[in-house]
Structure 1
Amino acid sequence: MPLTDTAIRNAKPGAKPVKLFDERGLFLIVTPSGGKWWRLRYKFEGKEKLLSLASRTVKDEEIGKPQNLL
Structure 2
Amino acid sequence: MSLTDAKIRTLKPSDKPFKVSDTHGLYLLVKPGGSRHWYLKYRINGKESRIALGAYPAVSLSDARQQREGVRKMLALNINPVQQRAAERGSRTPDKVFKNVALAWHKSNRKWSQNTADRLLASMNNHI
TM-score range, shorter chain: 0.7 to 0.9
The runs of 5 or more residues in structure 2 that have no matched partner are 61-95, 97-128
Structure whose CA Rg is larger? 2
Aligned mates of 2:59, 2:3 — CA distance in 1: 16
Q: Percent identity?
A: 41
1:1-70 equivalence runs, <5 A: 1-58=1-58
Over the residues paired in the alignment, what is the CA RMSD in angstroms?
Answer: 1.9
Moved more, 13-22 or 49-58: 49-58
Instruction: Pick the structure with more strand per residue.
Output: 1
Deviations 1:16-70 (A, max 9, x none): 012101001000011100000101000011111110100231388xxxxxxxxx8
TM (norm. structure 2) is 0.44
Q: 1:49 to 1:57 in 2, by over 3 A?
A: same
Compare relative contact order (CA 8 Å, sep 6+) and give the higher one, 1 or 2: 1
Instruction: Write out the 4+ residue segments of structure 1 that deviate beyond 2 Å after TM superposition.
Output: none
TM (norm. structure 1) is 0.78
Residue type at the aligned position of 1:29: L
Provide the aligned length of Structure 1 versus Structure 2.
Answer: 61
Instruction: Pick the structure with more helix per residue.
Output: 2
